[in-house]
């Protein structure tokens, strides 16, 4: 375990379902992130929460909705997804601020399949 | 943060050989980070080199940074089958609170 735990590890959902991905970090970090990794594509940064404030990302469709209730937990709520949303969703955390930041710690990811 | 560009995109070497991969970026940085990703897993932070450092070592890893050329290299010595993975660089400007951006990476295959 890296200190960042993602659940579930695998998820299959229909296009009309609503589901949520969960991420929890035990590192005392003050920033958390959602990334999407589709086959043959670079990682895409979806959302950033820094000091529990969300950094807007207008390129992410509204069918993805993040929630950060506190600095240790991050959710990604999913509804009416499309098959092209099938991907590996990765959560990460880091400590930011001060003169220089530090490395990110990633979870193992949730493999999402939309049918 | 800006996106780094890794080169080569793919590299295949024999076990025991050294592997070198490069990263180029466009604007000034605070630090540059290297990550490894095994297939279907999360990324693992390998090493961070600050803009005022030129070289850093961690076990079998050696990272160099040339800010005048806006480039970095990652050297893995005495490669092992377990080093087979994709490697990504992430140049970081400012406080890094806006999220790291990753490129296509270098896919390294170690042949037994």
pLDDT per position as a tens digit, B69-107: 999 999 999 999 999 999 999 999 866 667 899 999 999
Closest CA to B103 of B86, B84, B85, B88: B88
Please name the residue of chain B whose CA is at the shortest distance from the CA of residue A99. B95
A56-66 pLDDT, tens digit each: 676 899 999 99
**Which residue of B4, B38, B43, B92 is the best one to mutate when testing the A interface, meaning the one whose CB has the most A CBs within 10 A?**
B43
- Residue A84: helix, strand or coil by DSSP? helix
Please name the residue of chain B whose CA is at the shortest distance from the CA of residue A56. B98
The mean pLDDT of chain B is: 94
Nearest to A107 among B30, B40, B42 (CB): B42
Please name the residue of chain A whose CA is at the shortest distance from the CA of residue B47. A103
Size of interface A-B (CB pairs under 8 A): 70
pLDDT at A97: 72
Q: Render A27-65 in DSSP notation, one character per residue.
A: S--SEEEEEEE-TTS--EEEEEEETTEEEP-TTS-TTEE
Q: Percent of chain B beyond pLDDT 70?
A: 96
Between CA A107 and CA A52 the distance in angstroms is 19
CB contact under 8 A, B40 and A111: yes
Nearest to A48 among B42, B99, B104 (CB): B99
Between CA A18 and CA A14 the distance in angstroms is 9
Q: Percent of chain A beyond pLDDT 90?
A: 74
Between CA B73 and CA B34 the distance in angstroms is 9
Q: Which is higher by pLDDT, A75 or A58?
A: A75
A101 has pLDDT over 70: no
CB contact under 8 A, B42 and A4: yes
How sure is the predictor about A2, in pLDDT bands with cuts at 50, 70 and 90? confident
* Residues 23-52 (B) with a CB less than 8 A from some CB of A: 30-31, 33, 35, 40-45, 48, 50
How sure is the predictor about A53, in pLDDT bands with cuts at 50, 70 and 90? confident
Nearest to A96 among B95, B101, B103 (CB): B95
Range name among A25-34, A78-87, A95-104, B55-64 with the lowest pLDDT average: A95-104
What distance separates the 2 farthest-apart alpha carbons in chain B?
42
Average of per-residue pLDDT across B44-65: 96
pLDDT at B2: 86
DSSP state, residue B3: B
Reported residue count of chain B is: 112
pLDDT at B50: 93
A99 has pLDDT over 70: no
b/e map of B52-78 (b: 16 or more CB within 10 Å)? Answer: eeeeeeeeebbbbbeeeebbbbbebee
pLDDT at B103: 93
pLDDT at A98: 63
Average of per-residue pLDDT across A69-82: 94
């Amino acid at each position: 375990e890296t200190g960042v735990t993602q659940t579930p590890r695998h998820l299959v959902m229909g296009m009309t379902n609503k589901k949520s991905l969960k991420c929890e970090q035990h590192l005392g970090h003050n920033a958390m992130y959602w990334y999407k990794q589709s086959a043959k594509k670079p990682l895409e940064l979806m959302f950033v929460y820094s000091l529990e404030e969300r950094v807007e990302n207008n390129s992410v469709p509204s069918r993805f909705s993040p929630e950060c209730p506190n600095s240790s937990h991050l959710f990604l709520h999913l509804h009416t997804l499309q098959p092209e949303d099938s991907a590996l969703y990765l959560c990460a955390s880091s400590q930011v601020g001060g003169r220089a930041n530090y490395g990110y710690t990633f979870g193992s990811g949730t493999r999402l399949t939309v049918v | 943060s800006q996106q780094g560009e890794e080169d080569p995109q793919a590299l295949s070497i024999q076990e025991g050989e050294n592997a070198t991969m490069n990263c180029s970026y466009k604007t000034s940085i605070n630090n540059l980070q290297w990550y490894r990703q095994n297939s279907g897993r999360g990324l693992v932070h390998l090493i961070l080199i600050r803009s005022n450092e030129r070289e850093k070592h961690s076990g079998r890893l050696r990272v160099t940074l040339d800010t005048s050329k806006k480039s970095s290299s990652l050297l893995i010595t005495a490669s092992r089958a377990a080093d087979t993975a994709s490697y990504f660089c992430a140049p970081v400007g400012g406080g890094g609170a806006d999220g790291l951006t990753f490129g296509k990476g270098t896919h390294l295959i170690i042949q037994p």
